[in-house]
Amino acid sequence: MNAPSVAVTMTLGGHPAVGSAAPVPVEDPATGDVFAYAPACTPQELDTAVAAAALAAPGWAASDEDERRARLRACGAALAGCLDEVAGLLSREQGKPLRNAQAEVQLSADWFGHTAELTLAPEVLEDTDTSCIGLERVPHGVVAAIAPSNFPLILSVCKIAPALLAGNTVVLKPSPQTPLSTLRMGEALRDHLPPGVLNVVSGDHDLGAGLTSHPAIGMISFTGSVATGRAIARGAAERFLPVVLELGGNDPAIVLPGADVDALAPRLFQAALANSGQFCAAVKRVYVHRDQTARLAELLADLAGCAVVGAGADPASEFGPLVSREQLGRVAALVDDAVARGARVLSGGKPLGGPGHFYPPTVVVDLPEGTELELEEQFGPVIPVIAYDDVDEAVGRANSTQYGLGASLWGDEDLADELAGRLDAGTVWIDTHGDLRHNVPFSGTGSSGRGAEYGYWGLLEYTRIKVRHRARVAGRRPAGGASSAAHDRPGER
């Protein structure tokens, strides 16, 4: 093992652990070289982590909600305190420009604070002379949290923060491609949570399967590909485990007839190229009226031609490499297939030579209907620009995939409002795309998953409903009633 090792540890029961399984090599996607090894845990060590979480669960669930809030804020401050170090690891292992990695760490730190503002107050459903019925939200127990490789840190935090606030304990597993920043975050949070409340394990994909099938898990929160989500859902169904599945997307953007394509092209380009297209809610297909197709494609191709692609460590880089050689191969194969079927590439279209997993921003036109590049998630920096003759056709093609994460409409406001209801997506944006916010729920339909993340609606997923129904004998009603102890409407404090 010649590569230098980064000294990050797993967190098991509040203690550092180096792991006894063969360490996981972590590549720098800008060079293709292994630059570090991450610890990997054995099935026995996974048992230790889950047992620690199970042991800590009753005490954590019984703790005061305000104490949990205070600890979340402390976690945010601790993460902010090592922002540069975590961002450096994140940029190196994922490939994204350093300033974007810094922004992701800052957002993650802030997310703890935003989550701490939420509340799960009990509700009174009925309070009469004959009965008092209250509804409370109780935690699931141990949450298995599994994160993907594109935004490893924020997509971990938007699971663990609400899970912890709701009174669950957590075993978190990052992607083997991007484990280091998450493990480092686990170290930073260790002193701010009771032992066992947050465990961070690392290892290969099999560890994810071991975690989600562990008998002591009470809920699974997963973000990743459709294929993995399907495997997890199948296993969870056997045990009736609650799951949140945030899966792949293939978001369409429909540019409405007469839209100002010169003005919107740069925004559309950014919405498609965010994180080099490795963003579940990036624009993956652009439908534009035939009269404006050539102009919009030309504008996007010009932007693609000027984009600066490079290593995350280079301050000039706007777009980093793809996270792995496998992902590079997938994007290249989808574009090659489209070209073989008659599509034309206006910019990019081939992996950049040399080391690293670089694929340039690419604009493709004349895509025959039904090519894989249109129907499947490419998860790369490719913008297919597809002509339509009427908006019904555009809506039909936008809805023609298995996905249903996001979609957008650009241009005429009234027409956009009319069409928004016809798009099969968890979110329909108008004149923007991929604008995710901590106080707005995000969810997919179809193969893009089930359940919501973010804000109050995301928090609810980490709870189950429990009803307390008291009969009042002979109409005796206590002074003050149950409503004095409960909010009528939960949500933000």
User: Segment 388-417, which members bind ligand NAD (CB under 6 A)?
Assistant: 405
CA 208 – CA 228 distance, rounded (Å): 10
**89 Cβ neighbours under 8 A, 6+ residues apart:** 6, 8, 180, 181, 184
481: its two tokens: 């009633």
The reply to whether 455 sits near ligand NAD by the rule CB under 6 A is: no
User: Segment 261-280, which members bind ligand NAD (CB under 6 A)?
Assistant: 280
The reply to whether 202 sits near ligand NAD by the rule CB under 6 A is: no
Among the listed residues 280, 374, 377, 453, the single catalytic one is: 280
* Residue (of 213, 367, 204) closest to 284 by Cα position: 367
The reply to whether 175 sits near ligand NAD by the rule CB under 6 A is: yes
DSSP H or E segment with residue 436: none
State the virtual CA torsion across 165, 202, 148, 170 in degrees, nearest 10: -20
Residue of 218, 249, 406, 446 that binds ligand NAD (CB under 6 A): 249
The reply to whether 228 sits near ligand NAD by the rule CB under 6 A is: yes
Which among 73-81, 144-152, 260-268, 296-304 is the span making contact with ligand NAD, rule CB under 6 A? 144-152
Residue of 157, 219, 247, 394 that binds ligand NAD (CB under 6 A): 247
The reply to whether 231 sits near ligand NAD by the rule CB under 6 A is: yes
Please confirm, yes or no, whether 27 is among the known catalytic residues.
no
CB 9 within 8 A of CB 200: no
Please tell me the count of residues contacting ligand NAD according to CB under 6 A: 31
The reply to whether 209 sits near ligand NAD by the rule CB under 6 A is: yes
The reply to whether 379 sits near ligand NAD by the rule CB under 6 A is: yes
The number of beta carbons lying within 10 Å of the beta carbon of residue 426 is 21
CB 169 within 8 A of CB 142: yes
> C-beta of 264: minimal distance to ligand NAD in Å?
24
The reply to whether 450 sits near ligand NAD by the rule CB under 6 A is: no
CA 370 – CA 400 distance, rounded (Å): 9
Which among 109-117, 126-134, 135-143, 167-175 is the span making contact with ligand NAD, rule CB under 6 A? 167-175
Please confirm, yes or no, whether 132 is among the known catalytic residues.
no
Among the listed residues 187, 246, 374, 461, the single catalytic one is: 246
Q: Where are the extended beta strands (E) located within 142-291?
A: 142-146, 169-173, 198-200, 219-223, 243-246, 251-255, 283-289
Backbone angles phi, psi at 11, to 5 degrees: -120, 110
Q: Which positions are annotated as active-site residues? A: 246, 280
Residues that bind ligand NAD (CB under 6 A): 146-150, 155, 173-176, 205, 208-209, 212, 223-225, 228, 231-232, 246-249, 280, 377, 379, 405, 444, 448-449
